[in-house]
């Protein structure tokens, strides 16, 4: 009887979230596209790279989650408003049959706490293919420690290496914002 109530509650909560139009980041998001992952999917001719925030080489050699590319974003105009960054992840080619070899997600930590459990998810999970370069654009808030979490999905079938590049960008149709 308790199992039936639990299932009914689970279905009701799911319907509530769906009915309110809420979507939660999901590990089922996967694409073979290297285009930026926004609803408009902007291409490089729709934005300009302003400057580099961080470039880091990485090694994923175990199956557990690893946090990488730590940085604290600063708005290029000095504003306190969220702004877009482009994330580019390259992966080595492994001699495995797996199409997807790693999973990536961006987080921001609240500046008043050092507890990683208080981090806010700022992007969905992105599955990166074997030997692929994945690019996506995400909005970040200035002044908060920002980082990527990565999971190796191929078990002991080899070490994944590559480069993470995070750049500050500006959309070409965007009007310049005043300094605050």
In a domain, 112, yes or no: yes
Residue 23's pLDDT is: 39
pLDDT score of 5 more than 70: no
- If pLDDT is split at 50, 70 and 90, which confidence band does 6 have? low
pLDDT score of 173 more than 50: yes
Residue 24's pLDDT is: 41
Q: What is the pTM of this model?
A: 0.69
> 150 is written with which tokens?
């990565």
Residue 148's pLDDT is: 93
Q: Mean pLDDT throughout 42-62? A: 85
Residue 3's pLDDT is: 61
In a domain, 138, yes or no: yes
CATH number for the domain including 143?
2.60.120.680
Bridge-partner residues for 121, per DSSP?
107
> What are the helix and strand counts (H, E) for the chain?
1, 9
Asked if residues 122 and 25 have their Cβ atoms less than 8 Å apart, the reply is no
Give residue-wise pLDDT tens across range 113-151: 777 677 888 889 999 888 889 999 999 999 888 999 998
In a domain, 178, yes or no: no
In a domain, 6, yes or no: no
- If pLDDT is split at 50, 70 and 90, which confidence band does 11 have? low
Number of domains in the chain: 1
Q: What whole-number percentage of the chain has pLDDT above 70? A: 69
> 129 is written with which tokens?
């293919």
The domain containing residue 141 runs over which residues? 25-171
In a domain, 2, yes or no: no
pLDDT score of 111 more than 90: no
> 76 is written with which tokens?
């290029």
């Amino acid at each position: 009887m308790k199992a039936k109530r639990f299932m009914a509650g689970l279905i009701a909560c799911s319907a509530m979230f769906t009915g309110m139009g809420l979507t939660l980041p999901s590990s089922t998001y996967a694409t073979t596209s290297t285009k930026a992952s926004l609803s408009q999917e902007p291409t490089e001719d729709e934005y300009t790279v302003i400057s580099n925030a961080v470039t880091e080489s990485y090694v994923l050699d175990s199956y557990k989650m690893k946090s990488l590319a730590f940085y604290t974003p600063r708005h290029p105009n000095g504003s306190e408003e969220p702004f877009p960054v482009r994330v580019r992840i390259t992966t080595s080619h492994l001699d495995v049959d797996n199409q997807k070899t790693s999973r990536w997600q961006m987080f921001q930590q609240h500046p008043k706490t050092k507890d990683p459990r208080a981090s806010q998810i700022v992007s969905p999970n992105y599955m990166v293919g074997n030997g692929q370069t994945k690019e996506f654009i995400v909005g970040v808030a200035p002044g908060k420690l920002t980082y990527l979490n990565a999971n190796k999905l191929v078990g002991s079938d080899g070490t994944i290496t590559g480069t993470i590049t995070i750049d500050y960008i500006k959309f070409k149709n965007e009007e310049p914002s005043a300094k605050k």
